[in-house]
């Protein structure tokens, strides 16, 4: 019996480190999650489901990504929702630690809310980062962000009390319609004073086109 227990322990560890499968499913513009957390995310009809993937992130966490895109006939994406369910593996004791002073409530769930304007450079950061994996997945499906100049609203909900499991929703828009760049809007930029109004509008649209059903 002791040998069987040891075998099962190693088998469980090996499964945790192998390529995981998606636990969530999409139908139309609705994503259903059976657990962690149990809910449905429904997006505006302008957004089309582009698919999802699961993987082990940095050998410490299980991540599952799903994407809903607003794209033209050539696959150029002007807006998207990137949904990521993530949780640390049993093999470690890490916990998520967000210190964002801004929080918003959507569908009864509380989210940390951070907003950024940035120029995306695939050569920056780790090749195995969740951001680069997201970009590569979209490219494999025939989608490409229409501009490197973007603004992103990140929303993060702590799913479990121990802060080891999170739901992250990133809403992205290209900056092209504004005629501005990330450098213009960031600190010291020529249009820095416009950022509070622009970022507030981004958050409003992110919430407006998303419905959480528990």
Q: Per-residue pLDDT tens for 80-139? A: 999 999 999 999 999 999 989 999 999 999 999 999 999 998 888 888 999 999 999 999
Identify the pLDDT of residue 19: 63
Q: What is the pTM of this model?
A: 0.90
How sure is the predictor about 29, in pLDDT bands with cuts at 50, 70 and 90?
very high
- Bridge partner list, 157: 167
Type and span of the H or E element at 205: helix 195-208
User: What is the residue-averaged pLDDT of the chain?
Assistant: 92
How sure is the predictor about 18, in pLDDT bands with cuts at 50, 70 and 90?
low
| Exposed e or buried b per residue across 10-31, where buried means at least 16 C-beta atoms within 10 angstroms of its C-beta | eeeeeeeeeeeeeebebeebeb
Give helix then strand counts, H and E, for the chain. Answer: 4, 12
Type and span of the H or E element at 13: helix 2-17
Token pair of 180, please?
């501005």
Q: Is the pLDDT of residue 146 over 50?
A: yes
Identify the pLDDT of residue 15: 40
Best CA proximity match to 106, nearest among 6, 60, 39, 55:
39
CA-angle at 85, arms to 128 and 145, nearest 5°: 55
Burial class (CB in 10 A: 0-12, 13-18, 19+), 101: exposed
Q: Is the pLDDT of residue 142 over 90?
A: yes
Range in 6-10, 32-36, 70-74, 79-83 with the lowest mean pLDDT: 6-10
Measured between alpha carbons, how far is residue 155 from residues 45, 71, 115, 136 in Å?
21, 22, 9, 22
């Amino acid at each position: 019996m002791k040998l069987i227990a040891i075998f099962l322990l190693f088998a469980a560890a090996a499964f945790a480190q192998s390529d995981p499968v998606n636990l969530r499913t999409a139908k139309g513009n609705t994503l259903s999650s059976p657990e962690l957390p149990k809910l449905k995310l429904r997006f505006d009809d302008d957004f089309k489901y582009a698919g999802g993937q699961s993987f082990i992130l940095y050998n410490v966490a299980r991540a599952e990504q799903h994407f809903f895109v607003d794209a033209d006939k050539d696959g150029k994406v002007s807006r998207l929702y990137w949904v990521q369910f993530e949780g640390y593996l049993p093999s470690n004791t890490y916990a998520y630690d967000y210190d964002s002073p801004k929080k918003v409530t959507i569908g009864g769930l509380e989210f940390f809310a951070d907003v950024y304007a940035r120029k995306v450079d695939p050569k920056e950061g780790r090749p195995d980062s969740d951001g680069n994996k997201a970009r590569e997945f979209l490219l494999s499906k025939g989608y490409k962000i229409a501009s490197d100049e973007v603004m992103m609203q990140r929303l993060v909900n702590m799913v479990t009390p121990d802060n080891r499991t999170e739901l992250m929703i990133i809403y992205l828009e290209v900056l092209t319609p504004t005629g501005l760049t990330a450098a213009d809007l960031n600190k010291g930029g020529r249009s820095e004073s416009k950022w509070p109004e622009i970022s507030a509008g981004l958050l409003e649209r992110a919430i407006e086109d998303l419905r959480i059903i528990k």
